[in-house]
Amino acid sequence: VLVKRSAMERFVLARYFPLYWERTQPLWSVMGSQQSMMRRRGASESSHLRVNECPYASFHGMSLSGGSHVEDSLKTGNKRNSLLSEMQWVKDPSANLENWYLTDIEKILQEAWQLNPHGAKDMRLPGEMYICVGQNPKVGSSIKETQHTQLCECSVTSYPVLQLTSDARFSKRLDAWVDLVRIEPMSAIVEAECGEDHSGAFLRLSTRRPTASAFVEFLVLLRLALLKQFGGGNLLDFLVLSLSDERGGFIVLFAPLPQLVKLDDAKPDFATWKNPFTGESSTSAGLEEARIDVGKGLGHFLVSKPALREQILAGGEDTVKRIWAFNRIPGMCTAIEGFMR
């Protein structure tokens, strides 16, 4: 008796619905001096959207990679799976992607484009909401083996950090506004007056079409160039978010981050962390939380220790800005500006 794969999938405990898309750019891995193509341009991809069983945000879901399988070329018409796939005869060791060291920018942009309304806020249908899509960096990801993005109800107006701007400039080639935003806590402003720049930073892009080929190519090549320049995935990570601007367009946040080093054997929420680029530790910086991920980077915290709660309530905005400043990478802004020229 043969039970088709598509029939068995209807019995899984975590129900999902798929999104389909095709890559316009390769997915690169850079570890040290070794550069590898993990997905080729033109690969057919699927994203499996499901509920997050450990939610920490409103309408929290996750999107697992459905894999890029060898049977893609065998599909005909509107069939979801080829015969070989239905019979579980496909063996493709390269189908699975890990979540660590592989920030999949195009997956994030494609999912945000398909999940969000493309019109003004007053045009939304009943029950329709804005969805933020992002992928946690390694320091905020507990699942290594399977690539996944985080989904939650969120738009540009949800968190003040998403509305920060510095000097936005319009790029005709990208059809987007590009802004290298510097995040300065009060301590960084004082240090800047003494000739030191201790501010954090991220690239903020605003566009009507985040899946446009030139736009995706720019971000993919920027990530690749920075990985090569700053030592590869062992030292450098990224936070990338894509969300609606509530006017029919999209905001994309692109933030290079250091691979923080855990200095003790405590659980991550209680550990001391070190920035390998600056040598600073979370203890010396006076931070009860030093990590940036999809939640913490916006100011959305799960609080496991009273000291962190006290620090946030005493000055939430400055705490978030200090966390961004702690995750600074000397020379990163100069590198990004050089790439954009």
Beta bridge partners of 117: none
How high does pLDDT run on average in the chain? 90
Lowest mean pLDDT of 14-23, 33-42, 85-94, 116-125, name the range.
85-94
Cβ atoms of residues 178 and 129 within 8 Å = no
Residues 6+ apart with CB under 8 A from 50: 14, 15, 16, 61, 62, 63, 64
What residues contact residue 165 under an 8 Å CB cut-off, 6+ apart?
A: 179, 181, 204
Q: Distance of alpha carbon 15 from its chain centroid, rounded?
A: 24
What is the band of 46 on the pLDDT scale with cuts at 50, 70, 90? confident
Q: pLDDT for 147-180, tens place per residue? A: 999 999 999 999 999 999 999 999 999 999 999 9
Residue with the bigger pLDDT between 334 and 4: it is 334
CA 180 to chain centre: 17
* pTM for this predicted structure: 0.90
Phi, psi of 246 (to 5 degrees): 70, 10
Q: What distance in Å separates the CA atoms of residue 137 and residue 101, rounded to the nearest whole number?
A: 8
Whether 189 shows a pLDDT value over 80: the answer reads no
Amino acid at the residue 158:
S
Count other Cβ atoms within 10 Å, centred on residue 113: 18
- Structure confidence at residue 70 (pLDDT): 47
